[in-house]
Structure 1
Amino acid sequence: MPASTTPTSLLHTWWSQRPPTAGAAVMATGIVSVALHQSGYENLSRIALVLACATWLGLAGAFIARLLWDRPRWLEEAATPAALTGIAATAVLGTRFAALGWEPLAWALLALAALLWPGLLLAVVRHWRHRMPGAVFLGCVATQGLVVLAATLAAAQNTAWPAHAALVLFWLGLVLYAVALARFDLRQIARGAGDHWVAGGAMAISALAGAKLLGAEGPDLYLWNNDDTDVLRTVTAALLVLDLTWYAVLLIAEMRWPRPHYDVRRWATAFPMGMTAAATLSVATALDVPWLETPGEALTWIAVAAWLTATAAAVRRYTRRPSKDGTDAPPPETDVRSTARR
């Protein structure tokens, strides 16, 4: 077999071609872990968490390697919306670790995500254009990911300042969503490769952030007055309704315009599905609406099915046996860099 088609070289090719959107795989796996934990399936949740951690470590290694040895490519990718998947993925993992009681690790991940957030967000926003793909909403996703983790830690450690800081970011995240929506190409609903689902996923993580802010207040931690609480409850409920509306629209569009071919951006479909499940379950608790738990658990299993589909497609793509001349080796995946700057 020629050197270019050995398993080692194929793995190297696969890894070197990872676009920043591959961080959506960590986001999807991490939020599926969170939703399974909320639904009471702890063993499955921990299996998903291990997979998410392994993928996160690999992507972190690639991030550092490019920063040190391929600076031009690192700078180019850092200016694309997909670069923010690293921040969102880190925040999701931190939230799951906080639920396990591993608070020092969760704090470390919050610090890392918060350190990267302003520079990457500014670089991405400066390159926003009209008629962008769904990745434009990742500015909102990354920001609300910090809110979710900070509010979770505030509740876990009975500390007010992370929740107060998170409230500021919560409103900023909603502003970023509105600005992104004005730049989103609505035609992506019919032709998007998977990341168009982030339009709904950003709304879902915003609803989850609102629920976590409400849940951070307890008998020993007075955070919000009655007016603040009423506003948060109303906004959180509205965000969940809007998220579920997006979910229905995007699902109908998938049936109307099927897109069966694998694309790395399909992980950005599994993530919003899992986030909608987690948001529904969290809002059910925060707003004391028990009947939401049943649809929340149903949405969890739909998200698991979407995650398994994306995983199976990725494995099939990269374990396909090449021919003797290597002509049917897996081709490079589509990146979003060309579309993100239109």
Structure 2
Amino acid sequence: MATGIVSLGLRLAGFLWAARGLLVITAALWLVLAVTFCGLLLDGARREELAAPAVLTSVAGTGVLGNGIALTGHSAAAAVLLTVTAVLWLLLLPRVLRRLGRSLPGAAYLVTVATQSVAGLAAALAVPLSAPWLTWAAGVLLAAGLALYALVLSRFDLGQLHRGAGDHWVVAGSLSISALACARLAAATGRPEPLTWLTLAILAAALSWYAVLAVLEVVRPRPRYDPRRWSTVFPLGMTAVSAMTAATVCAVPWLRPVGEALLCPAVLAWLIVASGAVRRASGRPRSRRPGPVPVD
């Protein structure tokens, strides 16, 4: 998800070679995770993991990869990924929703991220595939994703904003992908005014959360590597992509430089988290400075 959305941002900003390189990495990682996911399906002892919100990254990741491929002009391949994304969404979302409790972590917002990833890809392919029915499906999914956001927000543990280990950023990322899905739907349906205004309203809410989360990162730095930090990279990149897309679809030119500026911390965060992941995988010991250890 994170690598794919940074690739999309770089493409929109005009850095085509970097975007293509990250798209290739995204595809390779998707294949690895697909094999892992199939193993999870076959392992009866781990079936309970299919009800955890994190499993919905399979939906969102496939949708992001599909969007990246669609932007390269390979609509048929993207349509195949749309089918995979829709099937996964239908199979996994009900299981996750049945297990949602109270005091939810940021990962719970993946119910919205997964739903809007299907909506956004469907809207993006409606015109290239000459399939107007996809816009209707995208509209229904967009509304469902926003309803799920409200559901999770009502149960969200706000303490995660201060002590979260990275996935708390999805509170903003889920709104950013909702804004992107809305913008894609607006573009596919001739940019009706209600959809353009809805796109801008959702994006404004996402940017507000972004600002709050950025301030909290400064107030309480969390420098230690945690795999959940990939859930920080995704919202950073998604907000940048949403802003650049809304600039074009909603005819608000000043949003483009905002999106390009937001792409910089997204790329930097990707490099830092990727470095941490490689260091963790290689088992290289990390030097520690004396002082208190951050609590995740």
Structure 2 gap ranges (5+): 286-295
Which amino acid counterpart does residue 111 of structure 1 have in structure 2? T
Partner of 1:39: 13
Q: What secondary structure does 1:186 align onto? A: coil
Which one of 44, 53, 57 corresponds to residue 71 of structure 1? 44
Partner of 2:128: 156
Which one of 262, 266, 278 corresponds to residue 225 of structure 2? 262
Separation (CA, whole Å) in 1 of partners of 2:99 and 2:7? 33
Choose 1 or 2 for highest CA Rg.
1
Large movers: runs of 4+ above 3 Å? none
Which one of 271, 275, 284 corresponds to residue 308 of structure 1? 271
Partner of 2:55: 83
Separation (CA, whole Å) in 2 of partners of 1:298 and 1:202? 20
Match runs of 1:131-210 below 5 Å: 131-210=103-182
Separation (CA, whole Å) in 2 of partners of 1:249 and 1:155? 37
* RMSD (Å) for aligned C-alpha atoms: 1.3
Separation (CA, whole Å) in 1 of partners of 2:280 and 2:54? 22
Higher relative contact order (CA 8 A, sep 6+): 1
Partners of 1:155 and 1:215 within 8 A in 2: no
TM-score using structure 2 length: 0.94
- Superposed CA deviations along residues 190-228 of structure 1, whole A, max 9, x for unmatched, are 00010000000000000001110011135xxxxx8xxxx
Partners of 1:87 and 1:113 within 8 A in 2: yes
Partner of 2:90: 118
Partner of 1:240: 203
The CA deviation at 1:321 is 4.2
Structure 1 gap ranges (5+): 1-26, 219-223, 323-335, 337-342
Q: What secondary structure does 1:298 align onto? A: helix
Which amino acid counterpart does residue 82 of structure 1 have in structure 2? A
Q: What secondary structure does 2:254 align onto? A: helix
The CA deviation at 1:232 is 1.2
Separation (CA, whole Å) in 2 of partners of 1:293 and 1:28? 20
Partner of 2:36: 62
Which amino acid counterpart does residue 299 of structure 1 have in structure 2? L
Equivalenced residue count is 286
The CA deviation at 1:230 is 2.6
Which one of 253, 256, 269 corresponds to residue 293 of structure 1? 256
Q: Identity across aligned pairs (percent)?
A: 49
Which one of 258, 271, 274 corresponds to residue 237 of structure 2? 274
- Superposed CA deviations along residues 81-125 of structure 1, whole A, max 9, x for unmatched, are 011000000001001111111111101110011011122110001
Which amino acid counterpart does residue 207 of structure 1 have in structure 2? A
Separation (CA, whole Å) in 2 of partners of 1:40 and 1:159? 29
TM-score using structure 1 length: 0.82
Partner of 1:53: 27
